[in-house]
A and B are shown apart, each in its own frame.
Chain A
Amino acid sequence: MSGLTHLPILAVVVPLLTAPLVALLRDRTLAWIAAVAASLCTLAVAITLVGALESVEYLAYPLGSWPAPYGIELRVDAFSALLLLIVTGASSAGLLIARDSLVGEVGSERQHLYLTAWLLAVAGLAGIVVSGDAFNIFVFLEVSSLATYVLIAGGPRRPALTAVFNYLIMGTIGATFYLIGVGLIYMMTGTLNLADMEQRISGVTELKPILVAGGFITIGLALKAAIFPLHAWLPGAYTHAPHAATVFIAACSTKVALYVLLRFDFFIFQGNLPDHEAQFRVFALPLAVVAMLVASALAIFERRNLKRMLAYSSIAHVGYIVFGAALATQTGLTAGILHMFNHALAKGTLFLAAASIGLGGAAVTFERLAGAGRRMPITTAAFVVGGLGLIGIPGTAGFVGKWYLVVGAAELGPAGVLMVVPLLVSSVLAVLYVWRAIEVAYFGSPDSARSSAPAVRAEAPLPMLAVLIVAAAANLWFGFLPSMPLTLAERAAEVLLTEPDQHK
């Protein structure tokens, strides 16, 4: 029994057990300290897991010592570890600024309850990525979703309520579809353990139920992951959520759904269903391309709310990730998975900057952004770094992911080279919307806007600024030294693409 044995379960248990504690601490400062400590602890667990995975392929943890496949098994491989890093990192960044940012958005007598919901969301998302059991994933999916609805609806903005209602309807339909799919697979294989399922499906002769299950699971998770055209819930939810919560949710919730989608489509169905690769490609590639183009265009035409513009950009970037995955090659999958990490960094930084600009609970409109470059130089500089990452300028983390996407597409021959075109067009569109925000921030004059909204006065408080600077620096750091996420992404792609009979 080495010290590493219990790490996978700690990622879930720490936030899950701190949540009721935070609910009992009625003091807003104490509750915040406990929540931050739990989140940072989980981040430390994630980092340790990444380190531990350098020498082994995966860490398995049988819950209650019941051996798999009879008991529930947690299984952390490179893919899970990378996602766990994204989840805990985003949660920690959001929580660290929450104390300042939630003022004016969530009443101080309710903040401990808000942070409870936050920790439950962390536990749910962490649970999804460490779990190796299909039904367990469903339960964690719902735990995280229910907590996320509370996080979004907790703010003072009225449209948040209708937005979250839509999200709840679509999220529940998505999760129920997933449940139907898992049920159909269970009928045919009699197992819920993912690794066992992969083995047993290859022995199933009647493939029709598995095919139907694949459809249900793919569509259900595509709803949760906001893959175009199932993205309708996303802009409203991101725009009207409290700013700190947006940082957390935008950086990781869609990515975790994408993680489950890739886990099923590649780990389980790939190699077990005839022509699965071609079918997935034909299904996902057009959607990804349309998402990249249409959502970027929508971002350009969003002229009022900065957060809504960034939300549309998120839909476009989900398109990038799906694009990489749909190539179904080692390079393509590596690129898609790497882009999850890089996009989380860039979008997290941008929403952190948006939180500074909207401090005090104001909506982050372009009018409020006007002139921010002079009043809050550090925030705006970080915003620029995040924006460049979104475009994919060399030197930022975003570039590495996009580079691999281009290489992955070009590897497929002439047709692949053609597919590079939408990638580039979408990046040009990104230049347009990011530049408009930067132009307004540096050259816009708040007086020219006939608005009653108070202009930004000065820089945000020091803790927020520190988090923002660290996030922006991480964008540059992983732009020049991408080896850590890149290695994990490569190994994740290998795990996903290995055929079932090739596992030992």
Chain B
Amino acid sequence: MIEVFGLFNYWVFAALLMTGLYTVIAKTNLVKKMIGLAMFQSAVFLLYITMDKVEGGTAPILRNDVPGQIYSNPLPQVLILTAIVVGIATLALGLSIVVRIHEAYGTIEEDEAAKMDRE
């Protein structure tokens, strides 16, 4: 039991990842697809943040007056800060493409736009 709950964050990671991926694949509405993609990326943020946590660890600010202090790993947080920026850029670009698709096709449904392409 403890193993299942001890890995709680990883379960949430997997659930978020799959929910996002399912949304991207199953929905035809382009905005909903972008929402799914954002969830999909957020799941990975959680994976990285989880792995840097050290039990009993604190923020990685070196203190000489507290001997034996354990610190969490700051590197994954820095990495994920970058990944969040990348994710936002992707989301912004994706949504702007949706806006242009709406201007050009008059719809944001993928199947309707595909039908108009074939005609």
Task: Enumerate chain A interface residues (CB-CB to B < 8 A).
Answer: 135, 138-139, 142, 146, 149-150, 153, 158-159, 161-162, 164-165, 168-169, 172-173, 176, 179-180, 183, 186-187
| Pairs of residues from A and B, 7 with the lowest C-beta to C-beta distance, nearest first | A142-B86, A161-B101, A158-B104, A159-B117, A187-B51, A165-B97, A162-B113
Of chain A, the residue at the smallest CB distance from B117 is: A159
Q: Check A183/B40 contact, CB under 8 A, given A168-B94, A173-B24.
A: no
A169:B33 contact, CB within 8 angstroms: yes
* Docked pose: A164 CA to B98 CA in angstroms: 10
Q: Is B64 an interface residue (CB 8 A)?
A: no
Given A158-B105, A186-B76, decide whether A142 and B90 contact each other with a Cβ distance below 8 A: yes
Q: Do residues B33 and A135 form an inter-chain contact, with CB atoms below 8 A?
A: no
Q: Which residues of A contact B18 (CB under 8 A)?
A: none
Task: Using A161-B100, A162-B110 as known contacts, list a sample of 18 further A-B pairs with CB atoms less than 8 Å apart, ordered by residue number in A.
Answer: A135-B79, A135-B82, A138-B86, A139-B82, A139-B86, A146-B89, A158-B104, A158-B105, A161-B97, A162-B101, A165-B94, A165-B97, A168-B94, A173-B37, A176-B41, A176-B44, A183-B44, A183-B48
Q: Which of A150, A173, A176, A183 contacts B93 (CB 8 A)?
A: A150
Q: What total of chain B residues lie within 8 Å of the partner, measured CB to CB?
A: 31
Tell me the residues in window 77-103 of chain B with beta carbons closer than 8 Å to chain A beta carbons. Answer: 79, 82-83, 86, 89-90, 93-94, 97-98, 100-101
A150 to B110, CA, bound (A): 20
B51 smallest CB distance to A (angstroms): 5
Total contacts A to B, CB within 8 angstroms? 71
Check A186/B51 contact, CB under 8 A, given A161-B101, A169-B33, A173-B40.
yes
Give Cα distance in the complex from A98 to B105, angstroms.
28
- Judge if B35 is at the interface, Cβ distance under 8 Å: no
Given A139-B82, A173-B21, A186-B51, verify A149-B40 contact (CB < 8 Å): no
Whether B97 and A172, one on each chain, are in contact in the complex, defined by CB atoms closer than 8 angstroms, is: no
Tell me, in angstroms, the Cα distance from A176 to B41 when the chains sit together: 6
Cα-based distance from A243 to B8 in the complex (angstroms): 50
Q: Which residue of A lies closest to B41 (CB)?
A: A176
Which of B24, B41, B79, B113 is the most central at the interface, judged by chain A CB atoms within 10 Å of its CB?
Answer: B79
Residues on the A chain within 8 Å of B86, using CB: 138-139, 142
Q: Which residues of A contact B47 (CB under 8 A)?
A: 180, 183
Q: Whole-angstrom distance from the CB of B79 to the nearest CB of chain A? A: 5
Q: A146-B89, A161-B104, A183-B51 are contacts. A153–B97 as well, Cβ < 8 Å? A: yes
B26-66: which have CB < 8 Å to A?
Answer: 30, 33, 37, 40-41, 44, 47-48, 51
Given contacts A153-B100, A183-B51, A187-B51, contact A165 B30 (CB under 8 A): yes
B residues less than 8 Å from A158 (CB atoms): 104-105, 117
- Determine the distance from Cα of A179 to Cα of B90 in the docked complex, in whole angstroms: 15
The answer, among A142, A146, A162, for a CB contact under 8 Å with B117, is: A162
